[in-house]
Amino acid sequence: MSEPKLEDIVSLAKRRGFIFPGSDVYGGLSGTWDYGPLGVQLKRNIMQLWWKMFVDDRDDMLGVDAAIIMNPKVWKASGHVDTFTDPLTECTNCGARHRVDKLPDFIERGTFDAQSVCPTCGKKGVLSEPRQFNMMFKTNVGPVDDENSLAYLRPETAQGIFTNFKNVVDTSYPDVPFGIAQQGKAFRNEISPRDFVFRSREFEQMEIEYFVHPEQWETAFEEWVKRIHEWCKALGLPDDMVHELEVPEADRAHYSKRTVDFEFDFPIGREELLGLAYRTDFDLMNIQNASGKSMEYRPKDGSAPFVPHVIEPSFGVERAIMAVLTAAYTEDEVNGEKRVFLKLPYDLAPIKVAVCPLAKNKPELVAKAREVYDMLRKEFGQVLWVDSGNIGKNYRKMDEIGVPYVVTVDFDTLEGEQKDTVTVRHRDTTEQERVEITNLVPTLNRP
Ligand code: ATP
């Protein structure tokens, strides 16, 4: 089986209602994407699984949900106003703007010269000297549009955690080490959004700041490396497609003393899926200095107070979705015909089960199928009702959106030896089994 191409994923995502270009009806808006009925479900499943694994199932984690627009002092103190930049070059011929560190010419020679080519118009010697471009989106708070009302859309969720560190400690009294988790939108005015949702201007992050005693950071870091691999497994990502990259000092973010990027073999190549950074006490100290409020933590056993250091696992939802779709996209052959299916882990599948009455013009059969459908809906939330086309076509459609089970209600369900049984067809193996209706829920509950 060959690896899927980006076009395969983008086309399936649009065709089946997972992800559409943002503002599609008006020709789109670069770097924005909208989630359709299946996409929103997949995205929620990923975010809920994350919350379950990293918050609900642990006793050292707490959650917050901070505002997206924060006091601009936050971004001054965090260093984002001064250093959250990417190097930009502009083509003097066609006006296209490019991120310098992604241009092969610049990567090879470290500069632009008469031979450097603009990737958009193809002309040589037209790229301007690089300048730094700040990626934060600006807005104004309140009716007056001036310097004093300037604010930013958050470029990361992390700062909403740091600014609430004291509030959480003073209200929940956690023992160090402990973590604070947050999920939510982040905005970056990327110079060149590209590669489907991989580099978007509006996206979603799931971040944890894990607060430790300064002497404990290395142990905690190694522990998080393991937890991240468990997460990748839960997403159904094969081990050999996930890679750790120790980021050299020159390439690390301004706040990090150690960073490991977890890369994935996306259809666009090996790229960052998520990051793990040791942020030291950089952020809490900046807040302490800028606000004048102590960020010291006082251990309950009376030992010396300290400003905790931080390990930050930072997950991007869009990149997780892209990795999940890449890993799940499978082609095989059934009865001599090519089949495309999404081998999604059960927890992530947007729809767990579909119900098909074998014939839609037989009221008795349809009524029985409705009974089964209503029963399953109570248990599994969204259940698809599929009464069109032939059964083989229905299976293909359900395979393409990753439905793990299709239940068919047929004439044998109504009478005879197999009365009150239905056919359950399994997505991955295409195997079918006969199951009593009373046994359906436990059969379908897990793989
Ligand atoms: P890159 O080097 O690819 O620009 P980054 O190192 O700037 O990414 P971080 O600041 O570490 O990214 O952000 C944490 C995570 O947020 C990333 O690993 C990624 O999953 C996600 N992320 C960051 N920028 C984007 C974006 N523009 N679109 C989608 N996801 C993003």
Arithmetic mean of pLDDT, 264-276: 98
Of the listed ranges 1-15, 58-72, 151-165, 298-312, the least confidently predicted one is 1-15
With a 6 Å cutoff on the Cβ, whether 195 touches ligand 1 is: no
d(CA 150, CA 183): 25
Point out the ligand 1 atom lying closest to the alpha carbon of residue 271.
3
Q: Give residue 203 CA to ligand 1 midpoint distance, Å.
A: 9
With a 6 Å cutoff on the Cβ, whether 159 touches ligand 1 is: no
Arithmetic mean of pLDDT, 266-276: 97
pLDDT at 289: 96
Euclidean distance between the first and the last CA atom of the chain, given in angstroms as a whole number: 23
User: Could you tell me which residues come within 8 angstroms of residue 186 by beta carbon, excluding any fewer than 6 positions away?
Assistant: 154, 155, 156, 157, 202, 203, 204, 205
d(CA 306, CA 313): 22
Of the listed ranges 265-269, 323-327, 389-393, the least confidently predicted one is 389-393
Residue 369 confidence class, pLDDT cut points 50, 70, 90 = very high
With a 6 Å cutoff on the Cβ, whether 191 touches ligand 1 is: no
Arithmetic mean of pLDDT, 227-248: 98
Point out the ligand 1 atom lying closest to the alpha carbon of residue 262.
18
CB 221 within 8 A of CB 311: yes
Q: Give residue 247 CA to ligand 1 midpoint distance, Å.
A: 14
Residue 178 confidence class, pLDDT cut points 50, 70, 90 = very high
Residue 255 confidence class, pLDDT cut points 50, 70, 90 = confident
Arithmetic mean of pLDDT, 96-111: 85
Q: Which two tokens stand for residue 385?
A: 């009702």
Q: Reduced to 3 states, what is the DSSP secondary structure of residue 150?
A: strand
With a 6 Å cutoff on the Cβ, whether 263 touches ligand 1 is: no
Q: If residue 162 lies in a helix (H) or strand (E), which one and from where to where?
A: helix 158-162
Q: Give residue 316 CA to ligand 1 midpoint distance, Å.
A: 7
pLDDT at 244: 98
CB 201 within 8 A of CB 187: yes
Arithmetic mean of pLDDT, 417-427: 96
Q: Which two tokens stand for residue 37?
A: 């009925």
Q: Which amino acid residue places its CA nearest to atom 26 of ligand 1?
A: 199
Q: Which amino acid residue places its CA nearest to atom 23 of ligand 1?
A: 316
Res 56 pLDDT > 60: yes
pLDDT at 103: 87
Arithmetic mean of pLDDT, 37-62: 98
With a 6 Å cutoff on the Cβ, whether 314 touches ligand 1 is: yes
For the whole prediction, is pTM greater than 0.75?
yes
Res 304 pLDDT > 60: yes
- Letter string b/e over residues 215-227, b meaning 16 or more CB atoms within 10 A of that residue's CB: ebbeebbeebeee
Beta bridge partners of 161: none
Share of the chain above pLDDT 70, in %: 99
Residue 206 confidence class, pLDDT cut points 50, 70, 90 = very high
At 107-154, the pLDDT tens digits run 888 888 888 889 899 999 899 988 999 999 999 999 998 888 999 999
d(CA 442, CA 447): 10
Q: Give residue 369 CA to ligand 1 midpoint distance, Å.
A: 46
Q: Which amino acid residue places its CA nearest to atom 19 of ligand 1?
A: 316
> What is the full DSSP assignment across 348-375?
T-S--EEEEES-TT-HHHHHHHHHHHHH
Q: If residue 167 lies in a helix (H) or strand (E), which one and from where to where?
A: helix 165-172
Res 1 pLDDT > 60: no
Residue 447 confidence class, pLDDT cut points 50, 70, 90 = low
Q: Beta-carbon neighbour count of residue 324 at 10 Å?
A: 23
CB 327 within 8 A of CB 237: yes
Point out the ligand 1 atom lying closest to the alpha carbon of residue 275.
18
Arithmetic mean of pLDDT, 347-352: 96
d(CA 324, CA 235): 6
User: Could you tell me which residues come within 8 angstroms of residue 79 by beta carbon, excluding any fewer than 6 positions away?
Assistant: 254, 255, 286
Arithmetic mean of pLDDT, 399-424: 96
Average pLDDT, the chain: 95
pLDDT at 410: 94
With a 6 Å cutoff on the Cβ, whether 275 touches ligand 1 is: yes
Arithmetic mean of pLDDT, 428-445: 95
Q: Which amino acid residue places its CA nearest to atom 3 of ligand 1?
A: 272
Arithmetic mean of pLDDT, 351-360: 95
Residue 217 confidence class, pLDDT cut points 50, 70, 90 = very high
d(CA 345, CA 322): 14
